[in-house]
Amino acid sequence: MGSRLEGKVAIVTGAGTRGDGIGNGKACAFVYAREGARVLAADVDMGLAEATAEMIRAEGGTCIPFRADVSRSEDCRALTEACIKSFGRIDVLHNNVGITNSGGPVEYAEEQWDRMMNVNAKSMFLTAKHALPHMELQGSGSIVNIGSINGERAIPFPKFAYAASKAAMIAMSREIAIQYAPKGIRSNVVLVGLIRSPIVEQNNTRLYGGDPDEMWRKRDAMSPTGKQGEVWDVANASLFFASDESRYVNGTVLPVDGGLINMVKL
Q: Which long-range contacts (CB under 8 A, 24 or more apart) does 119-125 make?
A: 119/70, 119/71, 119/165, 120/162, 120/165, 120/166, 120/168, 120/169, 121/165, 121/168, 121/169, 121/172, 122/71, 123/13, 123/70, 123/71, 123/76, 123/95, 123/97, 124/95, 124/169, 124/172, 124/173, 125/172
Is 162 assigned a catalytic role?
A: yes
Q: Catalytic: which of 162, 180, 208, 248?
A: 162
Contact 97, 76 (CB under 8 A): no
- Starting from the edge strand earliest in sequence, which strands make up the sheet with 62-67, in order? 62-67, 38-43, 9-13, 92-95, 141-148, 185-192, 253-256
> Which amino acid makes up residue 92?
V
Catalytic residue numbers, as ranges? 162
